[in-house]
Amino acid sequence: MNNHEIDFKLYGDDMQFVEVELDPNETVVAEAGALMMMEDGIAMETIFGDGSGNDAGSGVMGKLLGAGRRIITGESLFMTAFTNKGNGKRTVSFASPYPGKIVPLDLSRLGGKVICQKDAFLAAAKGVSIGIEFQRKLGTGFFGGEGFIMQKLEGDGMAFIHAGGTLYRKNLQKGEVLKVDTGCLVAMTADVEYNIEMVPGVKTALFGGEGLFFATLRGPGSVWVQSLPFSRLASKVFAAAPQNPAGRSKGEGSAAGGLFDLLGGR
């Protein structure tokens, strides 16, 4: 085993968090800002890259290259490592950033590699490599909803990703095909063939309200699908927010709005 072996427990339903139990000197690595709470005895350290030890090269240059891969995927330059420095077991918890589910992935049972959307990663045992996966086909890169680059999680330890709404896992048999809205695809195992297909029919494409393209996934392998992509949730919230001609929400109270104007916010 190259990864730290960690135990965990999920709490909640629609706004979940994961509690990770660490033995002495065990470490879990998480996205910056994902921390919810931790017990005394756990030390935090901000690190470049993912802390897997698989960065190209060595020293400062190797760490910079590892961090550079994260910048390409749109993530923060830094990650945070949480290490149990005490004598007994300690716990640290990480929260999902929006309503949905946290998905525990045992990479040792998934072929050692899972490909996921760019902002899906939440936390992982130290030793798991969080890298980038380039889409080799131009059509997939331009219209796949995730661009040319997706995240890949490699190793033999536990990793945690998050999805919006309800999560569904589909195990595809060899040759079995599943067509998914591009925004609803959360993750897939490395052996799944991923492509993009245009919606047939001009009227359907223009007026169907489902976009021009969907993802075609061909087995064998496992696919994780979310019912509520964050982009869809954000667009609905933005569309429902009442705006006056000045660009401020009608719901702003006179006290808050007056203070905002007084401080030069207008």
- Per residue in 110-163, pLDDT tens? 999 999 987 889 999 998 988 887 654 544 444 444 444 788 899 999 999 999
CATH of residue 43: 3.60.160.10
Whether residue 266 lies inside any domain: the answer is: no
What is the predicted pLDDT for the residue at 243? Answer: 67
| pLDDT higher at 207 or 224 | 224
Tell me the percentage of the chain whose pLDDT exceeds 90. Answer: 42
Mean confidence (pLDDT) of the chain: 78
Cβ pair 120, 186 in contact under 8 A: yes
Model pLDDT, residue 229: 80
> Is 249 inside a domain boundary?
no
Q: Which residue has the tokens 């470049």?
A: 48
> Does residue 196 lie within any of the structural domains?
no
In a domain, 250, yes or no: no
Q: In this predicted structure, what is the pLDDT of residue 72? A: 53
Cα 210 to Cα 229: distance, rounded to the nearest angstrom: 13
Does residue 205 have a pLDDT over 70? no
Total number of domains in the chain? 1
Measured distance CA(195)–CA(214) in Å, rounded: 9
- Answer yes or no: is 116 within a domain: yes
Q: Is residue 88 part of a domain?
A: yes
Sheet holding 213-218, edge to edge: 177-181, 213-218, 193-198
Q: What is the DSSP letter of 120?
A: -
Q: Which domain holds residue 25?
A: 7-164
The encoded tokens of residue 98 equal 């929006």
pTM over 0.85: no
Judge whether 53 lies within some domain. Answer: yes
Q: Give a yes or no: residue 170 inside a domain.
A: no
Give 16-72 pLDDT, tens digit per residue. Answer: 999 999 999 999 999 888 999 999 999 999 887 666 655 544 455 555 555 555 555
